[in-house]
Structures are given as C-alpha cells and as structure tokens.
Structure 1
C-alpha cells in the first residue's frame, strides 16, 4: 500500500510540474495559444490518438511492445527498418503526431 501511495504521489508531482516547465514567466513573450495548458492539451490529444491507433492496429502495437528494454542505440535502426517496410504506418503515425509538432514549432519549443 505504501508503494502505491508513493508512486501515486510521484506521478501527481510530475503531472503538476510538467506543464510548468513549458510556461514562460513573461506572458507577453508567449504567442497566443502557446500556454502550458495549450501544449498539454495538444499532447494529451496526440497521446489519446496514438493509443487508439495502437489498439486498433495490434501488429503495430506488438512491434512497439517488442522494443521495450532495448538500448537507445538499437531503437533507431529497428524503427527505420520497420517504417521502411511499413510506409503507410509511418505516414499514419506522423499524421497523428503532427499537431504536437505544429504547436511546438509555432510556440518556439521545437
């Protein structure tokens, strides 16, 4: 029980602190729609869409599950090979991620 409570508290602390890392202290320096809330809203939407995609594409989900625990230097080549063999999957995942890329670029976080 103690471990669950500590884990929940740590998760809550990270959840609360994460948006603050993106917030500029000077509101005048933030372009419109570039607040921490905007960034986190887009990120949440992209994460939800990615989750839905993986649940509806079990083969892609299985591939990504198979990457768990691999060292970083092995991930790049595996992803490159997979996407070369599955260009439609790459295009779909790129499209899902695009709103996050767009807001990061527009707001100067890219």
Structure 2
C-alpha cells in the first residue's frame, strides 16, 4: 500500500506544475477573440440570418410580402417597395431592425469599409449569381474587378443610414 501511495503522490506532484502552467498560460492566441475577425463576422451574419428566418416564419404575412419583394428585379423600385412596406408597418420595421442590431453594432465597432449586404452581394456576384435584390446592380463592380473602397469618411453607395458614432 505504501508503494502505491508514494506512486500516486509522485504522479500528483509531477502533474501539478504542468496543470498550473496550462491554467496560467490561458487559451492559445487565435483570431477567435477578435470581434472583427472574418469568422466572427460570419457567425454574426449566420445568427442574425437564423433569427430573421425564425421571425419571418412566425409572421407569415410579413414573410409572404418580403418574399414577393425579394423576387422583384433589383433596383430603386424594389428598395422603394421595401421602404414603403416598413413605413406602413413600423412594428415590423422595428422588429427587423432589432434583430439586425448585432450586424449594425459590428459594422460600427469594426469600422467595416462596406456594409454586410454589400459584402454578401459581392460574394454572390463572384459566384455568378448576380447582386442581391435590395442592392442595385450599379453598386457592385463587374465580375473580376476589385471591390471599390470609398475614401475615408466618404459615404458608400446603396442605402444610406445615419451614423451616430462619435
């Protein structure tokens, strides 16, 4: 019995410094802690998209209206239709703005040079699917062209929103 106790005590004594070092060293340095990392942007987009889908599923009339709007040809008319719908349905507009708030926060916190919808439109265009319906085709560069980056402080094309960061 004494031998097994000594062996156990020796193992514990050998393991304690290793465990202490591992605890004090903390997690490995990765981009996961950076809220502006592409992986976090993707997770936020996914989370907001799921929440928006759940909201639309639980509001069939809004889902049907939004589906019809998304099937319109991209351009000013589709944007005007969406603005008119939200003006006539302020509760829906507020609900959707609340759901999308994490994207708005991320865009401001990370000072993203383009909006999330613009980035998604560029990805779709690179896949050959064209621009998003709510994004006018003129706002995205032709295939193969690098995305245009606005000068610091210059407004981007597309939908405008007020920026109250300061």
Answer yes or no: same fold by TM over 0.5.
yes
> Which residue, out of 52, 55, 58, partners 1:53?
55
Distance 2:74 2:44 in 1: 29
Q: Matches of residues 22-101 of structure 1 in structure 2 within 5 Å?
A: 32-67=34-69, 68-101=71-104
The CA RMSD over aligned residues, in Å, is 1.8
Distance of 1:101 and 1:71 partners within structure 2: 23
Note the residue ranges of structure 1 that are not aligned, 5 or more in a row: 1-26
Q: Stretches of 4+ moved more than 4 A in 1?
A: none
Kept after mapping to 1: 8 A contact 2:72/2:78 = no
The one of the two structures with greater contact order (alpha-carbon pairs below 8 A, sep at least 6) is 1
For 1:47 and 1:61, how far apart are their aligned partners in 2? 14
Query: Larger Rg: 1 or 2?
Result: 2
Structure 2 unaligned segments of length 5 or more: list them: 1-29, 116-166
